[in-house]
């Protein structure tokens, strides 16, 4: 029965809706008129009304913009870090390769030798002044430039040997091409002579020149040269540079060029030269002990190849004991108390 009653009045909801429609439209028109009146009387209300309507939209836009901006900044920072990392790695690798190419143990030894012999020219405390440090810096920098030339030329001449004995060196490992090595070696030799020339010290210039000649004769593979093939000649080259040139020439550089004094060979200088003669022989013998394999293959007749590693090692130990024993005796016999304390 209920279904029949509902079917008999199919349009009841539409009639109800139509009855309320005029009232709804009337209220809507009334609200719009009041709003228009308020907008006319108060323009700020119009701005506030529009602001309320568009508030959520503007907030959403601002939120989207902030998200995009933050994501853009993070992407930009990631991009910058991505591009800067290979650059830093390349710089670090270049410095590491040059560090190995320069043979840092020879650089340190050269610098310490020059500093030590320069101090022998100091006669009183006032001698340690700005001219002393200037002259010392000139000598050390010029000598280090020449040192890089000598060790670099040796690597250029021994690429195949170093692939066996020292595969970590840049030329042997392929990090440096042969042309790159030539450019570095030539550049540092020119810089060394240029600095020695503009300083105006003849002892410094001749020290650089003799080191250049002996270092070239030691390494370069041309007829009558490459003296490193012969054990005695190789030892004489190292002894001449380390024991004689470094000690005498750089002492005279400080004595005559910096302090403007007469060239006088003092007892400490003679003792230092004698001590370094022993020490240079030890260097010449000891440096070839780990290189016996490559030297034997390529015909380098070092003492280690000819006599064996163990006998050469103990010979070096004996020479060092003699050198330091004599140094202790000389220090103990010195009339200066501070010399006794320091030496012993």
pLDDT digits (tens, 9 = 90+) for 45-64: 444 444 444 444 444 444 44
CA distance 170 to 168: 6
Name the pLDDT band for 299 (thresholds 50, 70, 90).
confident
Higher pLDDT, 94 or 6: 94
| 3-class DSSP state of 335 | coil
Give the pLDDT confidence of 141-167 residue by residue, as tens digits: 999 999 999 999 999 999 999 999 999
Least confident stretch, 187-191, 236-240, 265-269, 338-342: 338-342
165 alpha-carbon distance from chain centroid: 24
- Per-residue tokens: 224: 């009558």
| pTM to 2 decimal places | 0.72
Q: At what angle do helices 202-219 and 130-157 cross, to 10 degrees?
A: 10
What's the Rg (C-alpha) of the chain? 43
Angle (CA) 295-301-302 rounded to 5° is: 80
Does 67 have pLDDT greater than 90? no
CA distance 150 to 106: 10
Burial of 7 (0-12, 13-18, 19+ CB in 10 A): exposed
CA distance 79 to 191: 40
Residue whose pair of structure tokens reads 């060394």 in the numeric block: 192
Name the pLDDT band for 302 (thresholds 50, 70, 90).
confident
pLDDT attached to residue 20: 42
Cα dihedral 108, 106, 322, 207 sign: negative
CA distance 169 to 103: 9
Give the pLDDT confidence of 109-152 residue by residue, as tens digits: 999 999 999 999 998 889 899 999 999 999 999 999 999 999 99
pLDDT attached to residue 82: 54
Contacts of 216 (CB under 8 A, 6+ apart): 153, 225
Burial of 234 (0-12, 13-18, 19+ CB in 10 A): buried
pLDDT attached to residue 177: 95
Average pLDDT of the residues of the chain = 80
Does 89 have pLDDT greater than 80? yes
- Range 98-121 burial, b when 16+ CB lie within 10 A, else e: eebbbbeebbebbbebbeebbebb
Give the pLDDT confidence of 18-41 residue by residue, as tens digits: 444 444 454 445 555 554 544 444
């Amino acid at each position: 029965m209920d279904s029949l009653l509902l079917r008999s009045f199919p349009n009841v909801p539409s009639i109800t809706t139509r009855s309320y429609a005029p009232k709804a439209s009337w209220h809507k028109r009334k609200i719009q008129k009041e709003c228009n009146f308020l907008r006319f009387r108060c323009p700020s209300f119009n701005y506030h009304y529009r602001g309320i309507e568009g508030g959520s939209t503007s907030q959403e836009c601002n939120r989207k913009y902030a998200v995009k901006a933050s994501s853009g900044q993070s992407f930009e920072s990631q991009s910058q870090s991505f591009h800067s990392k290979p650059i830093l790695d390349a710089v670090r690798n270049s410095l590491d390769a040059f560090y190995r190419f320069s043979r840092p143990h020879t650089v340190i030894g050269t610098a310490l030798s020059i500093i030590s012999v320069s101090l022998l020219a100091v006669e009183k405390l006032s001698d340690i002044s700005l001219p002393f440090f200037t002259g010392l810096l000139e000598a050390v920098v010029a000598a280090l430039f020449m040192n890089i030339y000598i060790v670099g030329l040796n690597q250029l001449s021994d690429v195949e040997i170093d692939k066996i004995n020292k595969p970590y060196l840049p030329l042997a490992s392929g990090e440096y091409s042969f042309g790159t090595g030539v450019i570095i070696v030539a550049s540092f030799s020119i810089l060394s002579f240029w600095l020695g020339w503009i300083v105006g010290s003849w002892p410094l210039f001749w020290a650089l020149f003799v080191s250049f000649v002996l270092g070239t004769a030691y390494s370069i593979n041309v007829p009558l040269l490459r003296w490193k093939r012969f054990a005695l000649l190789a030892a004489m080259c190292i002894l001449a540079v380390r024991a004689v040139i470094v000690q005498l020439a750089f002492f005279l550089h400080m004595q005559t060029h910096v302090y403007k004094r007469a060239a006088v060979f003092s007892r400490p200088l003679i003792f230092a030269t004698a001590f370094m003669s022993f020490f240079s022989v030890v260097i010449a013998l000891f440096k070839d002990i780990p290189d016996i394999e490559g030297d034997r293959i390529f015909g380098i007749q070092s003492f280690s190849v000819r006599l064996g590693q163990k006998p050469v090692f103990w010979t070096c130990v004996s020479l060092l004991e003699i050198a330091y024993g004599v140094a202790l005796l000389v220090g103990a016999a010195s009339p200066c108390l501070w010399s006794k304390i320091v030496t012993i």
